Amino acid sequence: MGKLPLVCALSNTVRSREQRCDVTGGHVLQESGVPLAHVRFPTTAIVSLLCVMENGDSAEIAIVGHEGVVGTSVFLGAESTPSRAIVQSAGEGFRLKAQTMRDEFQHPAVRQLLLRYTQALVTQMSQTAVCNRHHSVDQQLCRWLLLSLDGLQGMELVMTQELIANMLGVRREGVTESAQELQSAGLIRDAKGHILVLDRSRRSRFTPRTRRVVTLGELSALATRQRSLAAIAIARIKGREAVNAPV
């Protein structure tokens, strides 16, 4: 697979310093509170960002695939991150020294693209929180599978039900029941840690609207809509203030 938007935005000098790396499933790329030495750009791997509690329990808050970067804290001014990054699906990627990334962030074009990606990542985290609170395990599983496939650009995941349950923060039995229902409906084939999506279009109908994660190319439209909504809200507030103002 060729290099992807965030990697290609870097200068030729910086790209020459990239280190290609293979990552295995379950490998921890970054730990909460530990200073980051590198940022990583997955190409064929998928990385999960987890929120870890004091008792060791954790839940996935975002997925990083071929369009993303692991280690946004580096260029946002922090030395470490509050989340753990663990390889969900083994594959390839590139890594870059943290200080080199900070230096590259000073270039306007690179900074704009990285900030847009960060906005998309925050949006995904917000949608994940809503989905985990309001949707069934079936819906959560469908959304999670599609997000993972988006990151891989493929149709098969190497993932056990136990690991999926840990990522979603639900019981394994719930994931097993949901996977069996999806398999009976002809949507997936689940065997020994390999999940093959048979009908992606039908699966999308089972997925809550929060599955839709903003991509880099859509952020301009999103920003325009957000500004419009903000303007409408401000106008309404001002209108109420005018009505309630003392005469």
List, for residues 186-230, the tens digit of each pLDDT value: 888 888 778 888 866 654 554 554 444 444 444 444 444 444 444
Surface-to-core class of residue 187, CB atoms within 10 Å of its CB (0-12 exposed, 13-18 middle, 19+ buried): buried
Q: Give helix 161-168 / helix 137-152 axis angle, nearest 10°.
A: 100
Neighbours of 29 (CB within 10 A): 24
Distances in Å between the Cα of 1 and the Cα atoms of 5, 78, 162 are 12, 31, 29
Flag residues of the chain having pLDDT under 70.
1-5, 11-16, 153-154, 199-247
Q: Percent helix, strand, coil in the chain (nearest 5)?
A: 50, 20, 30
Strands 91-97 and 84-89: what pairing? Answer: unpaired
Contact of 138 with 177, CB cutoff 8 Å: no
> Which residues lie below 8 Å from residue 185, measured CB to CB, with a gap of 6+?
202
Length of the chain: 247
Q: Which pLDDT does position 86 carry in this prediction?
A: 93
Contact of 194 with 158, CB cutoff 8 Å: yes
> Which residues lie below 8 Å from residue 228, measured CB to CB, with a gap of 6+?
none
